[in-house]
A = this chain, B = another copy of it.
Amino acid sequence: MREAISVQEAREAVLALSRPLERESAPILEALGRCLAAPVVSTRRLPPRDASAMDGYAVRVEDCLAAGSGVSAALPVAFEVAAGDVSGAELKPGEAARIFTGAPVPRGADAVVRQEDTERESDCVRIRIRPQPREHIRDAGEDVETGDTVLEIGARVGPSEIGVLASLGRSLVQVYRRPRVAILSGGDELVEIDGDVSGGRIVASNAYMLGAACRTLGAEPISLGIAEDRPESVEKQFRAALSADCIVSTAGVSVGDHDHVRPVLEKLGCRLEFWGVRMKPGFPLAFGHFPDSPGRLVFGLPGNPVSATVCFELFVRPALLRMMGRQDLFPPTVRVRLGERLRKKPGRLHFVRVVLEREGEEWVARSAGNQSSGVMTAMARADALLVFPEDASELAVGESALAIVHSRDFFARDNAGF
């Protein structure tokens, strides 16, 4: 086991052991937000036939050559074609057919004239413009041809993809299975959300934060409650977690006498890859896996809520996204300018909770409040985590830095009226 490694080393260690889960077949609306585990090849042509893009009249262009510039061509309306029509009627020379949006263009016709460009006179229609060949006709197969690979493996399923899948008659689709994430809390000071907090006890709030973070990503949290600070209690809880794809515990992984997580994990066959990452908040992070169950990961997060949140964002999130077949594993980053001076001791990379404000073309970063790793309200207020590099000791006002976007509504602030 390595100790006190860098953030980059820790991330590489995590990703080296993370892999996509098996595929499963899901109803398309249940696939929303997930990634395709197989390409989608069309067995249909879309549109299935040449169809009218407008309400109007189907014509032969050669019958309308005289129309335009105030002159109109009068044609008898031979029949009507509605959407869904299967009559297969044919337009003869010198005739027009009434047609509606989505209706099949009758054989013989080579253009559709919009209703607005015509004048109806009982059995006849006056065509006031000279149509272009194929005008207002949606070509058969213009969207999809039979055999087209319509969506690639790894594509993320959003509303547009669901529209495409539905139009191909696909009610089920192959996606990567959602990871099941067991969430464990440890500590005699902890109570459940409705528990008695007299005597300085506190709610095991990390379990809720982590459950919500898993749901946000599309993973399935399983909350296993609070273990007591005794090895038997910790072991019992971890045994219950062994069927999960990912185990996330908070607190109990440190150097203190009451930290039973490491010996319990080793007893259960877990190989710890690292303990301790040179970062703040979040130093006492442990990560391991089970060599007998490849792909099953264990994260021992620090107990301080800000530390747990930052460690989840930086390490657990990319692992879960990879399990779900995602390719974009990391949150967006933006270049920011320091709006106030920051100082620290060199030796650990700090993730500073900051709020960002537009000043001209730039984002200016200022502290979101008390940077203690217990102050969750500042985490909730933060737009981003500013990266204060390991070896640096000061970032001056006006200096440039990288910030990891935390608020999911952040980019919507850049809206230029649309």
Contacts and interface: CB of A to CB of B under 8 A. Distances in A.
Contacts of A213: 159
A204 B256 CA distance: 62
Interface in A81-103: 82-86, 98, 100-103
Interface in A154-179: 156, 158-171
A174 B333 CA distance: 32
A227 interface: no
Contacts of A418: 314, 330-331, 333, 387, 402, 404
Interface stretch (A41-49, A58-66, A289-297, A391-399): A41-49
A84 B169 contact: no
Contact of A171 (B159, B193, B258, B416): B193
B377 A229 contact: no
A138 interface: yes
A309 to B, nearest CB: 6
Given A197-B48, A202-B167, A215-B32, A411 B309 contact: no
A278 B365 CA distance: 41
A204 to B, nearest CB: 8
Contact of A333 (B163, B331, B415): B415
Given A47-B202, A142-B370, A171-B193, 20 more contacts: A32-B212, A47-B200, A84-B189, A84-B199, A84-B229, A85-B189, A102-B303, A115-B255, A143-B376, A158-B407, A159-B209, A160-B380, A163-B379, A164-B205, A166-B207, A167-B205, A167-B305, A330-B412, A330-B417, A411-B411
Interface of A: 8, 28-29, 32-33, 44, 46-49, 51, 53, 55, 82-86, 98, 100-104, 115-116, 138, 142-144, 150-151, 156, 158-171, 187-190, 193-194, 197, 199-213, 215-216, 229, 251, 254-259, 303-305, 309, 312, 314, 328, 330-334, 370, 372-377, 379-380, 382, 387, 402, 404-409, 411-418
10 A-B pairs with least C-beta separation: A163-B209, A55-B256, A84-B188, A84-B189, A166-B205, A83-B189, A166-B208, A167-B205, A86-B199, A332-B411
29 contacts: A32-B215, A53-B372, A55-B255, A55-B257, A84-B187, A86-B200, A98-B257, A100-B257, A101-B251, A101-B256, A101-B304, A102-B251, A115-B256, A142-B372, A142-B374, A143-B372, A160-B376, A160-B379, A163-B376, A167-B376, A168-B203, A328-B413, A330-B412, A330-B417, A330-B418, A332-B413, A333-B418, A387-B418, A411-B411
